[in-house]
A and B are shown apart, each in its own frame.
Chain A
Amino acid sequence: MAIPIAYNIRNLVVRRTTTLMTALGIALTVAVLAAALAVGAGLAKAFTASGHPNHLLLLRKGSTAELISSVPIPVFKERIKLRAGIAKDEKGEPMASPETVLVINLPSVDAPDGMNLNIRGLPPAGLKLREDCMITQGRWFQQGRRELVVGSAVAKRYPDAQAGKQITFGRGKWDIVGVFDSPQMARNSEIWGDFDQISGDFNRLEAASSVLVRAQDEVALDALRNELNADPQLQVEIMTEKAYYAQQTDSGAPLEFLGIFVAVIMAVGSCFAAMNTMYAAVARRNTEIGTLRILGFSKSSILLSFFVESVLLAALGGLIGIILVLPLNGVATGIGSNLTFAEIGFELRITPGIAAFGMGFALFMGAIGGLLPASSAARKEILTALRDS
């Protein structure tokens, strides 16, 4: 027969100071772990959902990132643009976009000294390839003008990058005329303008950084990729846009590693603290344990009861820990990308999975911490237990 759980709950309530202190220790451990995982989940959300399935990104052979790549415009016109298999827009123009990518430095809310941001110069085809992006404020930039639109993540974190303001880079001032937002979150960390205007400012009109093309469908995508790879005169690295973005999910790895490392060490400490509390609980309840045994509760139900109490204690800690980190959910932050040398904006995310994992982590601490004290309680001889204290 099992001892009712109400008995354990009441015991935790009676010793509320100790209960709360132990639970808080566990809570902080869970909070650190969940916060670290929130970085990874946020980045994963931003990147794995980004990129069109039929898009191919072309970089110079050997390049891993757009910033250090270059594809000459003549090569684009002669050997890429007119391939079969590339989708056409409503006017019959191929959906292939040579783009230029640069970095500028602007003060952000976290870094008043300035953070790097990607500027992308787009030809008209570039915007057609990104039809998922919507203007939420102002309007799109116009070809041939020194105008820019900023992504929603940029607008959120950079006080200077707002519609109606001007920023200075290259050969002079640029007007910001709008803010765009895309469900593909990685796009929202960029600033866009006209290809010719931006490339012209940096003397880069003769080469693009990368080329983005849309294949007609999945079959055409593979054919197109094979064909481009087979062209000996075209020294390019080809990957799907999805794969390119997915690589950046690792950008948060150092932070996640730090957080998990700290949480694991804290967890061992919290385990010992829980053990301490449970040993004290067992010691104080000698008479009670003896009485329970006389009443006919078996050794195993005593074991189970104390074990459950420890797990309950940890569950309380886990719950507090998750409540502590919940405000982090949705907080917009930025991190330096491992690929673009620029800041990418993302939102921290406490997913149900992370909450469950945090709770599991807490229960595990409680279980480990409760095992030894519970078994010592179960092993007590009835007479000594009653006589003690």
Chain B
Amino acid sequence: MKYLSLLVKNALRNKRRSILTITSLALSLCLLGVLVAMYHALYINQAPPGQALRIITRHKVSIIFGLPIYYRDKIAQVPGVKAVVATQWFQGLYKNERQDRSLFFPRMAADVDHLFEVFTTYKIAEDQKDAFRKDRLGCVVSDSLAKRLGFKLGDKITIQGDIFPFTVDLVVRGIFETEQNEEVLYFNNKVIEEWLKARGSNRPFAGTYTILVDSPDNVARISNAIDEMFANSEVATRTESEQAFALSFLAFIGNIKLILLSICAAVTFTIILVAANTMAMSIRERTWEIGVMKTLGFTKESILGLVLGESAMISLIGGVIGLSISGALCIGIRKIAGPFIFQFQDLGMQPPVLAFLLLISVAIGVFAAMIPAWNASRMPILNALRFTD
């Protein structure tokens, strides 16, 4: 610790350079922060306790094909299954959504009697739940969606169908709280069933079944049991955790994992270059001074430590500044991408991500200064004193 003031003095000797370096590092680390936070949200983040209990069964070939409605009762009998709800992605267009993409939100049709049995994390007042059940054209919306688009109880929401080409006029009968600021609207799947019936189709189906299981430990076992049960039936199924199901949609945008990792690598490499370059320049200017320090009795090790420490400090300051900016950027991305990418609905600098990145910034500082520090500590005193630039 006695060297701390020396570290600070050294870092401040060329203020302009330190400021330029810190700004450059802060920008890169801010970027790295956002990217790592995204990666964490997508691939590492554990599902919250409620979500971890839900699995989804869909058509094995593609989500666009439905499953027979009688599958519901068969799934309900699998040991460990607590509740099952049939859901159907309705899509459609709300107001002038084709022009204004911010009007997009997921619209699902569901079996109203089982919806809240499966989504135990949705908190809704009993009277609203009853009102929703009783009104055939009622709907419920999540509170974050209601807040964003200003929906209130009794409001009319008209959705113009596209996959199912008919218009539904819904009335908001309930607003529920969710675990993860989820944006979603549910209405009665009888509406779709009746429309299909009117067109002469008597094969009711569900797009997917969402299933509540008794314990997160049983997710794999129950998923396999369901898929095996239907393997040789009319329609084969694929069952996976709600989290994996959500990720499968993202695979659609491209190989996101690879893209995020390669950009992270490019950014990290750039940071190392910038930091290494600065330290090399700064040590070179100070060669003579280091010679003097050695004459005064500073050991090789303490010189090495001083240089590494200075670099680590600069890079840590850059990290702290950069990561606070990434916190703000994450909030922005959450607002813009949240409705489209479920996993980004609570994107932020989680403590483990933050700790990891601060560690990375110190590590980058130390790594970048390794060669100049090593050279400086080993340079013979006479050469150092004789050195002129």
Partner of B20, one of A115, A254, A276, A343: A276
CB atoms of B281 and A63 under 8 A apart: no
Return chain B residues, CB-CB under 8 Å to A60: 165
| Per-position 1/0 for A167-193, Cβ under 8 A of B | 001000000000000000000000000
Stretch in contact with the other chain, from B25-33, B79-87, B206-214: B25-33
CB atoms of B389 and A389 under 8 A apart: yes
Please, how many angstroms separate the alpha-carbon atoms of A301 and B358 in the complex? 45
The minimal Cβ–Cβ distance linking B279 to chain A, given in whole angstroms, is 11
The minimal Cβ–Cβ distance linking B264 to chain A, given in whole angstroms, is 10
State whether A115 and B251 are in contact (beta carbons under 8 Å apart), knowing that A63-B165, A262-B31 are contacts in the complex: yes
A233 at the interface (CB under 8 A from B): no
B296 at the interface (CB under 8 A from A): no
Partner of B27, one of A24, A31, A254, A269: A269
Stretch in contact with the other chain, from B39-47, B253-261, B298-306: B253-261
CB atoms of A275 and B251 under 8 A apart: no
Return chain A residues, CB-CB under 8 Å to B60: 105
In the complex, the chain A residue whose C-beta lies closest to that of B236 is A168
Partner of A18, one of B165, B253, B263, B281: B281
Give chain A interface residues in 94-142, CB to chain B under 8 Å: 103-105, 110-111, 113, 115-116
CB atoms of B266 and A111 under 8 A apart: no
CB atoms of B253 and A255 under 8 A apart: yes
Stretch in contact with the other chain, from B138-146, B187-195, B268-276, B376-384: B268-276
B198 at the interface (CB under 8 A from A): no
Please, how many angstroms separate the alpha-carbon atoms of A349 and B329 in the complex? 31
Give chain A interface residues in 246-302, CB to chain B under 8 Å: 252, 254-255, 258-259, 262, 265-266, 268-270, 272-273, 275-277, 279-280, 283-284
Which DSSP category, helix, strand, loop or mixed, fits chain A's interface? helix
| Per-position 1/0 for A35-72, Cβ under 8 A of B | 00000000000000000000000001111100110000
CB atoms of B255 and A265 under 8 A apart: no
The minimal Cβ–Cβ distance linking B353 to chain A, given in whole angstroms, is 18
B331 at the interface (CB under 8 A from A): no
Please, how many angstroms separate the alpha-carbon atoms of A342 and B91 in the complex? 17
CB atoms of B253 and A62 under 8 A apart: no
Partner of A62, one of B28, B165, B255: B165
21 intermolecular pairs with C-beta atoms under 8 Å apart: A18-B277, A21-B273, A25-B270, A28-B273, A62-B165, A105-B60, A105-B61, A105-B62, A111-B255, A259-B263, A262-B35, A265-B28, A266-B27, A266-B266, A269-B27, A270-B24, A276-B20, A280-B17, A280-B281, A283-B285, A336-B252
The chain B residues found within 8 Å of chain A, CB to CB, are: 16-17, 20-21, 23-25, 27-28, 30-31, 35, 60-62, 64, 91, 98, 160, 162-163, 165, 248, 251-255, 259, 263, 266-267, 269-270, 273-274, 276-278, 280-281, 285, 389
